[in-house]
Structures are given as structure tokens and as C-alpha cells.
Amino acid sequence: MEFERILIRYGELSTKGKNRKQFVAKLATNVKQAIKDMPEIKVHGERDRMQLYLNGASHEKVTERLKPIFGIQSFSPVVKTELDVAAVNEAAYALVREHHKENGTFKVAARRSFRDFPLDSSELNQEVGAFVLRKIEDLTVNVKQPDLKLNVEVRSDGVFLSCATILGAGGLPVSSSGRAMLMLSGGIDSPVAGYLAMKRGVEVEAVHFHSPPYTSEQAKQKAIDLARKIAKYSGQIQMHVVPFTEIQETIKKQVPESYIMTVTRRMMLLITDALRRKRNGLAIVNGESLGQVASQTLESMLAINAVTTTPIIRPVVSMDKNEIIKIAQEIDTFELSIQPFEDCCTIFTPTAPKTKPKLEKVVHYESFVDFDALIEKALNGIETFPVEVAEMAEVKDEFADLF
Ligand code: ATP
Ligand code: MG
């Protein structure tokens, strides 16, 4: 079946009044990014809906690309016919045949905005309904609660038919809420946190702390692969890898064992915040979940958080581990996350870190070391590169300036 276009219905953005124009533009950009390997498709963002003119592109492929895009409530592939009753009947039959269930019910919902068409909407409902019923034996009509609703819209430029409504990802278009730095480890929680922030329109850039030779190349690669998984929701993600070895060695040497974890986290947060400033970010996102480990008690959060007043978004803070795992499975990061590679946070961590660190003590211990110089050095050594969705990474650059 040849679909002429895909009709996209907006989610929450329809209610956002004066921001709507901006939201539609963001969504259009994100959609274009997701299909940039199909340059024949033309994207047209209107006030109430968006049209994707397929120009021969596969609607199945586009469907898969649209599903993860935030800001889309639902979408439908649409068939176009000439302004001719027989052509409409045939197209209606072909569509219903493809989508109906055994012994199912259906209904035709016709709308005529082009007055010169010979049949009005109720005549069309009857004509098309009768034609399809004659052709498909086990089908019956149910106008109140049909299993399948066939929309037929008669306009001056043709007749448009659709019957499948595919559910979109909901949420807000990524980057409509501004930019934040996502502290991305190789664990289960932080990719989920990143995904949830993206769902509310946040454009995230990933920051990963790497301490070779204590942490391996594979541990770094794992973080990159996780970033690639969530890049699906925005097209691509900027990745920053921070060299953290020298700071960790210094902490290990200078700070009493029970405070190593707290100081390490504070340094990570300070560096992330400095990077955020450079990248014009507005917030920091992490995967902390209350009570999960020693660094995630409220006392710890207080001592760690004291290095900055920047908003820290913790999307999974009140979730149970199995709730987080469920989302990780849905977004396909779980299997990657459970691969056993060392994390920089655990390498020098004592078996019993302080669960109730005192802020005055942390500040006191830190005062013996010139951390500013070390932080500056780490910032200068950051490696920054874009991470794209696997299939997109193959798209040639020649398409890049098309949009
Ligand atoms: P995760 O599953 O996300 O690793 P976790 O339960 O293992 O979380 P921690 O290791 O205590 O918890 O980390 C808490 C948060 O600190 C992480 O969710 C992440 O946001 C951040 N973090 C930890 N390690 C790193 C790292 N190497 N690079 C960047 N951020 C990190
Ligand atoms: Mg971790």
C-alpha cells in the first residue's frame, strides 16, 4: 500500500499557547534529524499538526523513526486518491483489509471540506461503508465503539484516507526546555535519568568521568554505547569524557578514607558544573536514587550538593530499583548497563564510606589540597565528540546541510 504522507498529532505542546510556534519548530527539527537519511521526505509543521510528505519513502521505516520522538501524541499514515468515488472505495477497501481484525467492527468517518464533491459526508459514510462491507465478509459496522475507524477527508486537492493511529512517545520536544549536563556512568540509573529528562524537553549532553588505568577502555566505551542508546530520542548527543585519574589519586592520598567518596563526588559535580557553564547549560541531571547507596543518603546529597547552586535534576530519586530497571528495559539500556566494568567512583571507595558526612569536615579536608589547579587541568583535558544513533552514524555528511 502506497502512503502519500504521515499526519502527526502534537502532544502537550498544543496547550502551550504562545510557545507553540517555537515548540512546533523544535519538533520539526527533531523529526528532520531522525529521518535525515531520507531526504525525499518533506516536513511541513502547521499550527495543529505536522505533515510528512513521503515522496516514495517507506512508511514503515519512518514509523520506526517517529516512535521515539518526544512531543508526538500519535500519527497516521495517509493514502491520497483523486476526487473520485470509485478510487476512494478501492483505497478504503485496501486500507481496511490491511488493518482489520477477524470478526472485527468498523466505522467510516467522512468529512467534506470541498463542496463540489458529489457526495456529502453522510452519503460518503454510507457509500464507502457499504462497499467495504461487501468485500470483507466477517466485518460489521459499529458506530459507537468500532475496532477500526476509517477517516476519509475530502479536500479540493484530493481525498485523504487513514485508519491506523500509532501512539507516539508523548512528552515535550527535546531541547524545548533548554540544555543540561547528564552525569552518565555505566550503571543502570543514569541512562534512565537522561531519558526521563529528555522526555520533558531537556537537551542533554553526557559527561563521563574516566580514570585510566584504574578504569578500562571498555568502561569508557560502555558509557559511549549507553549515550548512543539514548541518542535515539534526540538524534545525537554530545559526549564529554573527563580525565579524572589525577584527582582521584590525590583524593586517595590526602583525604581520610571515610570521606573519599564524598570528596570524589564533590569534585565530579564541580567539574560538571564548570563544563555546564561553558556549554550554556541550565541544569545538571544525575541518576541518584534516595537510599540506594552511601552517596545517596540525604546527608550525603547535602554535603555533595553544597559545591553548587545549579539546579540538579534527579529524575529517578524516588523510584525503587525495579521501577528503574523496568524503564531501562523499555529503552534497551539494561543489558548494556549490567555488563561488569569498573566505575571510577568505586575504585578507591572504602567498603564503608560515611553515610552521614559532615559538610564542615569535608571542607576542612579539601582545604589541604589545591583542587582548583587539578580541576582546571581536568577541564582542559576533556575529550568532546558527538555520539549518534547507530544507524544514523552511517548517514553521509552530504545530507547534513539539507535542513
Ligand atoms: P548508575 O546506575 O547511574 O551508575 P548508581 O546507582 O551506580 O548509578 P552511583 O554510582 O552512586 O549510583 O552514582 C550516582 C550518580 O553519579 C550516577 O547516577 C551518575 O549520574 C553519577 N556518576 C557516577 N559515576 C559516574 C561517572 N563515572 N561519570 C559520570 N557520572 C557518574
Ligand atoms: Mg554507578
Do 148 and 248 fall within a single domain? no
In this structure, of 62-66, 217-221, 337-341, the range with the lowest mean pLDDT score is: 337-341
Same structural domain, 199 and 81: no
Q: What's the confidence (pLDDT) of residue 395?
A: 45
Q: Ligand 2 centroid to 190 CA: how many Å?
A: 8
Identify whether residues 239 and 132 lie together within a single domain: no
Do 134 and 157 lie in one domain? The reply is yes
- Residue 351: band (very low, low, confident or very high) from pLDDT cuts 50, 70, 90: confident
118 upstream amide cis, omega within 30 of 0: no
For the CA of 286, the closest atom of ligand 1 is 20
Q: Is residue 397 part of a domain?
A: no
Do residues 84 and 152 both lie within one domain?
A: yes
- Same domain? 252 vs 134: no
Site residues for ligand 1, CB cut-off 6 Å: 183-185, 187-190, 207-209, 286-288, 292-293, 295-296, 343-345
Q: Which domain holds residue 41?
A: 3-167
> By alpha-carbon position, which residue is closest to atom 11 of ligand 1?
295
68 in a domain, yes or no? yes
**343 alpha carbon to ligand 2 midpoint, in Å?**
6
Q: Which residue has the cell 567518596?
A: 261
The answer on 129 and 189 residing in a single domain is no
Indicate the angle between helix axes 217-231 and 189-199, nearest 10 degrees: 20
Residue 296 labeled ligand binder: yes
Kindly report which listed range (66-80, 149-163, 216-230, 330-344) carries the lowest average pLDDT score: 330-344
Q: Which of 108, 133, 167 represents a domain boundary (last residue)? A: 167
Question: Which class for 155: exposed (0-12), middle (13-18), buried (19 or more C-beta within 10 A)?
Answer: middle
124 and 185 in a single domain? The answer is no
- Distance between CA atoms of 239 and 321, rounded to whole angstroms? 26
Better-scored residue on pLDDT, 354 or 153: 153
The answer to whether 244 and 379 are in contact (CB under 8 A) is: no
209 is in an annotated binding site: yes
Q: Are 123 and 236 in the same domain?
A: no
Q: Are 84 and 43 part of one and the same domain?
A: yes
Dist CA 317 CA 189 (whole Å): 10
263 is a domain residue: yes
> 395 lies in a domain?
no
Q: pLDDT tens across 373-395, in order?
A: 999 999 999 999 999 876 655 44
- Per the prediction, the chain carries an average pLDDT of 91
Residue 150 placed within a domain: yes
Percent of the chain with pLDDT over 90: 79
The response to whether 134 counts as a known ligand-binding position is no
Domain count, the chain: 2
CATH number of the domain encompassing residue 297 = 3.40.50.620
Q: Answer whether residue 176 shows pLDDT above 70.
A: yes
Whether 174 is covered by a domain: the verdict is: no
Closest CA to 369 of 260, 274, 290, 212: 260
Distance, CA 344 to ligand 1 centroid (Å)?
A: 9
Does position 396 have pLDDT exceeding 70, yes or no? Answer: no
**Cα(289) to centroid of ligand 1, in Å?**
10
Ligand closest to the CA atom of residue 314: 1
Same domain, yes or no: 25 and 105? yes
Q: Averaged over 154-171, what is the pLDDT?
A: 93
Residue 240: closest CA among 253, 223, 217, 255: 223
Residues above pLDDT 70, as percent of the chain: 95
Which pLDDT tens digit goes with each residue over 85-142?
999 999 999 999 988 888 999 999 999 999 999 999 999 999 999 999 999 999 999 9
| CATH number for the domain harbouring residue 88 | 3.30.2130.30
396 inside domain: no
Q: Relative to the alpha carbon of 188, which ligand is closest?
A: 1
Q: Are residues 189 and 150 in the same domain?
A: no
